[in-house]
Structure 1
Amino acid sequence: GGELHVALKSGIPSQKIVYAGVGKTEDEIKFALRKKILMFNVESEDELREINRVAGTMKTRAPIALRINPDIDPGTHPYITTGMKKHKFGIPIDLALEYYNLAEKLGNVVVVGVHKHIGSQITKVSPFVDALKRILLLIDALNAEGVSLQYLDVGGGLGISYRDEEPPVPEDLAKNLIPLLKGRNLTLIMEPGRSIVGNAGILVTKTLYLKEGIEKEFIIVDAGMNDLIRPSLYDAYHHIVPVVRTRRNKILCDVVGPICESGDFLAKERELSKLKQGEYLAVMSAGAYGFSMSSNYNSRPRVAEVLVRGKRHFLIRKRETYDDLVRNDRIPSFLK
């Protein structure tokens, strides 16, 4: 619901919005129906029946696609792999015809499409091709049973270069997928996210202290896992460079934050130019799953966001204050 609200406030037409997610609530379904979104991507039988019920109470019909799990390994981190049998996402492809037949019988939904999304940070074309081939076989089987679809949502997941990856660019993906789609009367929907914004953002952090250890040094900075959780959560690599380049000697170090956990780090065993207190580092490739996954852990206000255009910059989100941390807190009378 929150993402739908933000998208609408950002000026995205509701007819270009697809609602995905395995745990849609009744209020969220009602909100999406009132806003007349393009379609819901349905992930289970219970959800299908719930959308049908809610639409009935509103005397409308909900446009739906079924999210199909094609059981394709995208070769990415297990936490962001979403298209295999063992994952919570989507309807097993072996049961897809059964679910489509059920949906066709329900009175308050309209079957308009099919959806698949096999994971994120995918750095090869072949998983996209393999998954699409399986979905196209399903579409052919549905056509044979008289179920005609309008939309094919191929999902997202195209990776970016964080370190030394060489992911395909959108043109590479198009060259491999378009031949498979020729002659099909389908509207194609794609979900580019990380591939657009991932390398368009950085996290700038200040060096607080330098600490010499027995085996290596620690650079203690003012950004932590609450600001960028990817290294702690996924053991993800982010290139880190000084904001002002120097010719100082290199040191072996961990770049760590101020949070009270050993998992609070931005880099481990990294070779960097020696720094001084007060100097700034740029943590690269922080445009995707950066601020959106940030938190107030350890009662830390979230950072400001600044948009840079050429030589100009614009504050687009204010830095939070200590007052923001307690703004929504309420103390019950018996504790006063």
Structure 2
Amino acid sequence: MSPVFGRRSGQLFVEEVPLAAIAEMAGTPVYVNSAGGMRAQARALIDAFAGQDVQVCYAVKANHHLAILKLFASLGLGMDTVSGGEIARALKAGCPPERIVFAGVAKDDDEMRQGLRHDIWQFNVESIEELRRLDQVAQTLGTRARVALRVNPNVAAGGHDKISTGRKGDKFGVPVENAVSILGEAARMPGIEPVGLHCHIGSQITELAPFEAAYLRVIEAWKAVRQSGVPITRIDFGGGFGVHYREAPNFTIADYAAMVKRITTGLGAKLVLEPGRFLVAEQAVLLTRVIYLKETGEHRFLVLDAGMNTLIRPAMYGAWHDIEPVGIPGAELAPTEVVGPICESSDFFARGRMLPRMVEGDLVAIMQAGAYGRVMASDYNSRPGPAEVMVDGDQFDVITRRRPVEKQYEDEVIPPWLG
């Protein structure tokens, strides 16, 4: 559990605020974000790389709320974006374009123009086809795109097959051995300014070895590109460092920074890091309420008002989230199926979890919910979308209002010919 969450007189608090007070004010389900926790994570990362030439760019896809982007931008972080919409969010939150990176395998012409018109710091290009298209778009605007080529070092890593991105069969990047030829062609394009190499091998990585293996291959390619005459100056190592879900990673952020320093000392390269989950995952909870306790023979079902439409990670990835009663927990534990209201058998948060007995009306905190939680929520089953709250010390505010059903269909049109 993140240190921003703790118990006082048996009640679960976030920073200086009891979670029960948030539920009373905002209702449930509600995501509760700790500003203090996110600041602490960002500062820990910045401090770990003190003395190294590093630009940290928060991976917006992990949690794209404007308040969270504003918080990180105020600390000097840039933004790693993967769509035109995320670029717009980053700018709206006050991140200067000279700290925005634009990644993703399917940038369309409008998104390219958007990035070019704002003169963003870097395009992470994923293919020769994208590079040629970006060159054409940049020429029509009379400008040049600063480009880091994403290379695939063929290193398997990540907490799940669906979040491993650096293998030969993955859709991301180009083979690392093709970097010299592709950036050689890029250097001859009027609309392209090659500035570096980029890689990202996966998410929720809990060992240092895959990072080092991948980075060494990227560094070797970076040297080869420079020796070929293309004067690139940056290496973007992406993100992916794991957080404590069921088990803690086998390294600290200080260990990671020391490894990066050891293998990059003397290169003279500007380094870019793109953490997302690391900065936000453990700094938020999904606060939900028990609808009822259903007991059928050998099974105890704790039925919540949050479901896979609210937090899809357990259903999609089999992901583990700690589950805590908000009130005083009972002493006797029993295997419990923690489920939501969605009409799908996959609508589970946990199976056979050892939990104290809770009953109708009790509050439950699903922990480590800050990354890929609210941003992946849906309107499935036309259930009202969850609210969001941000806490800072002893103050808190609703930062996203609950989305009522009427808002879900206000942009839907019934054709007049249906009568």
Q: Name 1:97's counterpart in structure 2.
A: 180
- The correspondence of residues 67-78 of structure 1 with structure 2, limited to 5 A, is 67-78=150-161
- The correspondence of residues 1-336 of structure 1 with structure 2, limited to 5 A, is 1-336=84-419
TM-score by structure 1 length?
0.97
Any gaps of 5 or more consecutive residues in structure 1?
none
> Following TM superposition, by how much is the alpha carbon of 1:75 offset from its aligned partner in structure 2, in angstroms?
4.8
Q: Distance in 1 between matches of 2:330 and 2:159?
A: 36
- Contact 2:291–2:360 under 8 Å retained in 1: yes
- Contact 1:161–1:167 under 8 Å retained in 2: no
- Contact 1:254–1:270 under 8 Å retained in 2: yes
Deviations 1:187-231 (A, max 9, x none): 111011111111000001100011112332111100000110000
Deviations 1:112-153 (A, max 9, x none): 111000000000111111111101110111121111112211
Q: Distance in 2 between matches of 1:75 and 1:193?
A: 14
Q: Distance in 1 between matches of 2:170 and 2:188?
A: 27
Q: Distance in 2 between matches of 1:167 and 1:219?
A: 33
SS at match of 1:202: strand
Q: Distance in 1 between matches of 2:206 and 2:361?
A: 37
> Structure 1 residues 92 and 132, CA, compared in 2 at 3 Å: closer, same or farther?
same
Any gaps of 5 or more consecutive residues in structure 2?
1-83
Which residue identity is paired with 1:119? Answer: G
TM-score by structure 2 length?
0.78
- Contact 1:158–1:168 under 8 Å retained in 2: no
Deviations 1:276-318 (A, max 9, x none): 1000100000011111111111112211100112222111111
> Following TM superposition, by how much is the alpha carbon of 1:10 offset from its aligned partner in structure 2, in angstroms?
0.8
- Contact 1:200–1:287 under 8 Å retained in 2: yes
Q: Distance in 2 between matches of 1:33 and 1:168?
A: 38
> Following TM superposition, by how much is the alpha carbon of 1:248 offset from its aligned partner in structure 2, in angstroms?
4.5
- Contact 2:197–2:234 under 8 Å retained in 1: yes
> Following TM superposition, by how much is the alpha carbon of 1:169 offset from its aligned partner in structure 2, in angstroms?
2.4
> Following TM superposition, by how much is the alpha carbon of 1:267 offset from its aligned partner in structure 2, in angstroms?
0.9
> Structure 1 residues 158 and 325, CA, compared in 2 at 3 Å: closer, same or farther?
same
Deviations 1:47-96 (A, max 9, x none): 11110111111111111110000011125311000001010000111222
SS at match of 2:169: coil
- Contact 2:180–2:228 under 8 Å retained in 1: no
SS at match of 1:41: strand
> Following TM superposition, by how much is the alpha carbon of 1:335 offset from its aligned partner in structure 2, in angstroms?
2.2
